[in-house]
Structure 1
Amino acid sequence: MTRIPAAPEANPPRLVELDALRGFAALAVALYHFTAEYSDLYGHTVPLWEMRFGKYGVQLFFAISGFVILMSLERVERARDFVWSRAARLYPSYWTAVALTFTVVTLFGLPEREFSLQTALVNLTMFHELLRVPHVDTVYWTLTIELSFYLLMFVLAYTRTLPRVIPIFIVLVVLQTLAELAAQALGMTFLSRLASRPHLQYFALGVLAFKQSRGEVSLPSALVLVAVSFAHEVFVGSEAPAPVFPVVLGLAYALSRGWLRWLTWRPLLFMGFISYPFYLVHQNIGYVIIRRLEAAAWRPEAAIVVAMTAGFLLAIVITYGVEQPALRAFRQWRRRAGARTAVPSHLA
């Protein structure tokens, strides 16, 4: 298996600002779902302020992933270790979330979001979208994109081309843009949507931010990557309006320069710590709670508070009861596997 060259600093300190940004993005997405999207789908009993811009927290998530995944790859010796660590991080919480969401929606009902047990079982693979199987919870759409990005980064690590990640991303973003433009010109809407799915332009911002934080990218290369990524947003567009791009770019650049270290508010850091389970369980379960409470004459604001609280509590339980034990078990397994395969020094 391909070994990845060790970074000058094999285990750099954890960047708490990453957790803070994750926490902020998770809260923004949840508020969008509980205000604007819920209003569009089911309608609140009385009008309320809708946080429609919160949906673009997803684009911030993609940029954060670009930063984190490249950082993670520089911490491992073998590309396969990256695969196992991602699986241990993602799947146990995801399986729990699928089971919880399916159970709650099946028991209490949620119009147009009730699915069969077979659908739920296929969802457990996390590749269900590729099989044209609907999501048990629509937030899962981003997981397919994340997995595609992980696969790309694994290939770069395996082929030892990570040192050239910036020029590679320049080429990939250009190809993505040309593919979308060609599909649109030919009236092939399906292919156009398919070409736009990778969201490489946002992952690229995180990748660039990490390389900038290590002083490993030239200014011309950085400017070209930003230019082709922004050109994609201007000429093709995406699920986010063009003004979202410079906002995410600014946050990514501030992260690379260490300008976000003031983001140490403990509640926000804790929100970032539980953000993955929270993201997975908040939407449909929250919708069920809001519908039930509003049907019982609760104010929408109060129902949303209860739904958010339920999401927090479930995320805490999953984080400490599933995610962290799974990660500890994985690390112990890795240590034992390493000890078994170690060659005694007198035989080396």
Structure 2
Amino acid sequence: MPASSPLPRATHAIAAPAAPAAGPAAPADAPAPAAGRRRRLDWLDALRGIAALVVVFEHSLDVLFPEVRRTASPWFDFGRYGVFVFFLVSGYIVPASLERRRSVREFWIGRMFRLYPPWALAGAIGLAAGAAGVAWAPPDGLAEHPARAAFAHLTMLQDLLGVPNVVNVFWTLSYEMVFYLLVTALFVAGVRGNGAGAGTSLGFAAGAAAIGFALPTGLVSGHWPGYTVVVGVAAMAGGLLAVMSRRAGLRRGGACTLAALALGLLVLNNRIGAMESLAIVGTMFAGAGVYAVQHRRVARGPAVAMLALASAVTLAAGVHGLLDGQRPERANPPSWGWVVALGAAWLTFLAGLALRDRRFPRALTWLGVISYSVYLLHPPIVQVIWRLSREPGHMVPVERAAWALLLLACVLVAAAVSHRYVELPMQGLGRRLTRSVRAAGASAPEPEPVPPPDSDRVPAGERLAAPAPSGAAVSP
């Protein structure tokens, strides 16, 4: 995630910036598809692999390449570029996963077993590294109210509940979770996530432009921090239980609860500014809209027009915000780097879509497969490298290159081990549990069937588990 202005080396910890970095989407829920189908989806893995590399690079700037931070970052925000690529991929694939399953219960079982195991591993490593002094300690706010922080993190909504992140990159998973809640609410209401993507995206873009800069950050948690967490945890737990009920009334009530929670947190209690919060979720729904257009779920002409207008309105909101960013009521105004990064993320995503039938380098698609673990595990490794290396200004180019290669090697090895021994086994367990639930007839009846998508496997973060990721980057 984009770094703020560098702090003294002794205390700076890849601080979570006021604005997002990159995050993965969650892993896909389906078993690995056939070879031909997998190849057709390699473009998604390639995109997540690119986004993962960009995230690691973003977080290495203050450690090894401060001149890039000074010169390029104001005009191209690497972190935001990665995050929006991750979120576009997530939006493209996650609603299709729910529609393919046609079961809210099975969808959430899959999400839980793909998102939480590597997330828990990353959180444990972050806490242990901080306690051992080999990385920076987590924010002080966590120790002041540990129970509150723990419950908030279990929802993955902690960044929107006013609770500091145990690991700074966890913030993107809060937006992934908001998206899942909204997609679930739409599904229960009979509105298909992919089919409604274009119009919903335009609505969020309009909201970002119209009211995004007029709203304060942390409005609710700033006044009632404890109650915010209690209400948020209860609303999410109660809403999810209700939408899995067999009673139509409870299902509708649960859908309304989840939608109200997600929208309320985005608008009233965000940390990064309502404009950017709404833009992130709108971008994910735009990804769903692209899927609907590609698979002819909607009339192409109107859908394409809405998607183009949504992206234009979001970019225009960013330009207006940075030109008018000196006004005191503007919460976290964007920079030119934000605008350029969002545009570049869209171009990257559309280029991948256009090239989806081409072969992609296996190394890049493999990186996409493990991208969820890359995203979650790289921060403490970057911090350790920072402690061991010298000040960038005192290193010759060869020395910097050596540290950069060591950093990348350590991140890839850690992510590969996590994927092999944490993600894959837990994904398998989740699939077995899903089959048991289905066989026992425990899944609540869902809305009428819809044609299954080609696959719900997302690249990197998603497939990580196969997050196809989260993914969270994001999952990412």
TM-score range, shorter chain: 0.7 to 0.9
8 Å contact 2:198–2:306 — kept in the other structure?
no
1:341 shift after superposition: 2.5
With over 3 angstroms needed to count, the CA separation of the structure-2 counterparts of 1:263 and 1:31, relative to structure 1, is: farther
**Which SS does the other structure have where 2:196 is aligned?**
helix
Identify the residue that residue 176 of structure 1 maps to in structure 2: 208
Residues 263/20 of structure 1: CA separation in 2 closer, same or farther (3 Å cut): farther
**1:161-192 per-position Cα deviation (integer Å, ceiling 9, x unaligned):** 113332233223323332214438xxx99879
Tell whether the 8 Å contact from 1:212 to 1:256 is kept in structure 2 after alignment. no
After TM superposition, list the pairs within 5 Å mapping 1:112-123 onto structure 2. 113=138, 118=146, 121-122=150-151
Matched, 1:13 2:93: no
Residue 244 (structure 1) aligned to one of 324, 333, 341: 341
- Tell me the amino acid that sits aligned with residue 104 of structure 1: A
| 2:430 match | 330
- The CA deviation at 1:253 is 2.9
- By relative contact order (CA 8 Å, sep 6+), the higher-ranking structure is 2
Could you tell me which residue of structure 2 aligns to residue 308 of structure 1? 408
Once the two structures are TM-superposed, the CA of residue 195 in structure 1 deviates from its matched residue by 4.9
Asked if the contact 1:23/1:273 (under 8 Å) is kept, the reply is yes
> What's the Cα RMSD here?
3.1
Distance 2:275 2:306 in 1: 21
Q: Which residue identity lines up with residue 434 of structure 2 in the other structure?
A: R
Partner of 2:52: 26
- Name 1:291's counterpart in structure 2: 387
Which residue of 133, 158, 165 corresponds with 1:108?
Answer: 133
Structure-2 separation of matches of 1:114 and 1:171:
35
Query: Do the aligned partners of residues 48 and 63 (structure 1) sit closer, same or farther apart at CA in structure 2, a change above 3 Å counting?
Result: same
The equivalences for 1:34-53 within 5 A come to 34-35=60-61, 38-39=62-63, 44=64, 49=68, 52=73, 53=76
Give the structure 1 partner of residue 292 of structure 2: 211
**TM-score normalised by length of structure 1:** 0.81
Distance 2:351 2:297 in 1: 16
The alpha-carbon deviation at position 136 of structure 1 amounts to: 1.9
CA deviation profile, 1:288-323 (whole Å, cap 9, x unmatched): 22321337x873332232222221111111111111
Distance in 1, Cα, partners of 2:366 & 2:196: 35
Unpaired stretches in structure 1, ≥5 consecutive residues:
1-9, 343-348
**Is structure 2 residue 153 aligned with structure 1 residue 71?**
no
Q: Secondary structure at the match of 2:100?
A: coil
Quick one: percent identity of the two aligned structures? 26
2:123, 2:441 → 1: CA distance? 36
Spell out the pairing of 1:78-157 with structure 2 (5 A cutoff).
78-111=103-136, 113=138, 118=146, 121-122=150-151, 124-125=153-154, 126-157=156-187
Q: CA deviation at 1:252?
A: 3.1
CA contact (8 A) 2:47 2:352 kept: no
Partner of residue 201, structure 1: 282
Contact kept, 8 Å, 1:93 with 1:323, in 2: the verdict is yes
Structure-2 change in CA distance of 1:142 and 1:201 (3 Å): same
SS of residue in 2 equivalent to 1:215: coil
Checking the alignment, whether the CA contact within 8 Å between 2:126 and 2:138 is kept in structure 1 is: no
SS in 1 for 2:101: coil
SS of aligned partner of 1:242: helix
Corresponding residue number in structure 2 for 1:4: none
- The answer on whether the counterparts of 1:98 and 1:123 sit within 8 Å (CA) in structure 2 is no
Which shifted more, 126-135 or 17-26?
126-135
Q: Which has the higher helix share?
A: 1
Give the C-alpha shift of residue 83 in structure 1: 1.6
Q: Which runs of 5 or more structure 2 residues have no equivalent in the other structure?
A: 1-32, 217-266, 322-333, 443-476
Q: Partners of 1:255 and 1:213 in 2: how far apart?
A: 13
Q: Structure 1 runs of 4+ off > 6 angstroms?
A: 188-192
* Corresponding residue number in structure 1 for 2:303: 221
> In 1, distance between residues paired with 2:93 and 2:346?
16
Q: 1: distance between equivalents of 2:134 and 2:42?
A: 39
